[in-house]
Amino acid sequence: MGLVSSTPLLQDARKNGYGIVAFNVHTLEMLQAVVEAAEETRSPLILQTTVGTVKHLGLDYLVANAKVAAEKASVPIALHLDHCTDFDLLVQCLRAGYTSVMIDASMHPFEENVQRTKRVVEIAKALNVNVEAELGKVGGVEDDIVVDEADALLADPDECKQFVELTGVATLAPAIGTAHGIYKGEPNIDFKRIEEIAKRVQVPLVLHGGSGIPGEQVRRCVSLGMAKMNVATELKNAFSESMKQSFRDNPGELDPRKYMVPAKEVVKQLAKQKMELCGCVGKA
Ligand code: 13P
């Protein structure tokens, strides 16, 4: 069916109280693993890449792989660009075939965040592409974007309403206490804040920092309106740990297929667990 916009998928998720998982993939095997997980569980899927991965794999290679996956799959698949601060690169991704993009101008003051986001929304609208933007500041490390915990800032519910109205953004990622990377303790999620934001904002909300959030808390976030959950670190770590284990078991192994196959399987099983948790199994 080809790559689809994430907008209708996420609107359905918000309306019906489930969440779609957006997995950050870094290699062909990781991409195939999450696609297989989606097919086997009949889940809608958002393939997600950071700017770093676009640079690492090459935009043309990446989009070509995602397009083939979407054409072959019998479940809807969107291709999303995560946390992009570079307008020119974002437009290149749109032209190459991304069906969903995040413009991250959350490091700027509110007015400037509005202006930068609005500019992307106008272009994306003509292409039927979803736009996500962030309000507040999600802490932790995501690719080259590092936000110290002391600088992390939670989103203000009234500002969220204003922001969506002013920008026309289709999805909103409000900072509500989660962080990118693995949590040292439990995440300190402000559920009341999610509730207040969801009351004021009808667009699907996005939960960043999905790695390591306890299951019960994920379910609560989803039930309150978080229709997309981003998972990066857990997937990347599982893939690499599996390969490390393969090398410990077989130090002399030189055939990449021998350590890539189990690593792919581990990613696939983890992806299925996250889909189950968010309630998107069977929703494709
Ligand atoms: P994690 O690395 O914590 O899973 O966060 C992913 C994310 O939010 C990407 O934008």
The predicted model gives 173-191 an average pLDDT of 92
Model confidence pLDDT, tens digit, residues 222-245: 999 999 999 999 999 999 999 999
Q: Is the pLDDT of residue 1 over 90?
A: no
Classify burial at 71, counting beta carbons within 10 Å of its beta carbon; exposed 0-12, middle 13-18, buried 19 or more.
exposed
Q: What is the pLDDT of residue 152?
A: 75
- Reply yes or no on whether the pLDDT at 150 is more than 70: no
**What was the pLDDT predicted at 27?**
97
* Atom 1 of ligand 1, nearest CA residue: 209
Average pLDDT value for residue range 116-138: 95
Per-residue confidence at 190, pLDDT binned at 50, 70, 90? very high
The Å distance, Cα 231 to ligand 1 centre, comes to: 5
Domains and CATH numbers, the chain: 6-278 (3.20.20.70)
Q: Is the pLDDT of residue 186 over 80?
A: yes
Q: Is the CB of 82 under 6 A from ligand 1?
A: yes
Asked if residues 195 and 160 have their Cβ atoms less than 8 Å apart, the reply is no
pLDDT digits (tens, 9 = 90+) for 62-104: 999 999 999 999 999 999 999 999 999 999 999 999 999 999 9
Distance, in Å, from the CA atom of 97 to the CA atom of 67, rounded to the nearest integer, reads 8
* Ligand 1 pocket member 181 (CB < 6 A): yes
Percent of the chain, pLDDT > 70? 99
Ligand 1 centroid–CA 184 distance in Å is: 15
Contacts of 212 (CB under 8 A, 6+ apart): 182, 183, 187, 233, 234
Other residues' Cβ atoms within 10 Å of the Cβ of residue 225? 23
Q: Is 143 a catalytic residue?
A: no
Q: Is the pLDDT of residue 177 over 70?
A: yes
Q: Are 239 and 266 in contact (CB under 8 A)?
A: yes
Question: Measured in angstroms, how far is the CA atom of residue 252 from the centroid of ligand 1?
Answer: 34
pLDDT of residue 119: 98
Q: What is the pTM of this model?
A: 0.96
- Of the candidates 82, 86, 144, 255, the residue annotated as catalytic is 82
Quote the CA–CA distance of 133 and 151 in Å, as a whole number. Answer: 18
At residue 246 the predicted structure's pLDDT band, cuts being 50, 70 and 90, is very high
